Amino acid sequence: MESEPENVNEAHEEDFRSNAGRGIENQETSGLDSGPGKWLRWLLAIIGCGLMVATIPLFFPVNVMQTIHRWLGLGDFPVAPIAIYLARSTSMLYAVHGFLMLLVSFDLKRYWPLVQVFGWLHVVIGLTMFGIDLTTPMPFYWISGEGIPIALAGMLIIWLWRTADTQRPSSLN
């Protein structure tokens, strides 16, 4: 006969062990497998995969960066160590962020508080990028396609999170 866990940490550890390796299919009992939870999972996964595409430019030779820079109408790419460093490290940060979002999408129950954080971070990042784009100044297609969509995605994450949170069984809250 199994005894009851003595504290919350033991309960969480026991829950983790019993659910380990079961992944997304285990979420059927969490109340997050349909409706807003399902849409939230898909949204996080899609955004995560989209951000992970930023891994590709990490390996671009400088001449490819220069060509793309000109093609985007941004003029000549500054071939200075800091510009190359910033281009590559920014790509890596986007990719890592995307990987974390994809990882969270596979286990919403475990990472539930982090989902709301992702939403708010996207709102802040989006509005900050919008300000940066306006003051740089970037072309209109860039301004309209970067900051505002990121902030809107953040608001959608928050809305889905709140909606799904009200539908979760109280034992999971």
Global pTM exceeds 0.85: no
pLDDT per residue over 17-34, tens digit each? 555 444 444 444 456 676
Which of the residues in the chain have pLDDT under 50?
20-29, 171, 173
Angle of the 112-135 helix axis to the 35-52 helix axis, nearest 10? 50
94's CB contacts (< 8 A; 6+ apart) are 51, 54
The amino acid sitting at 70 is R
Q: Cα separation of 47 and 156, whole Å?
A: 12
Q: Cα separation of 162 and 155, whole Å?
A: 11
| Domain ranges within the chain, ordered by starting residue | 32-167
155's CB contacts (< 8 A; 6+ apart) are 119, 122, 123
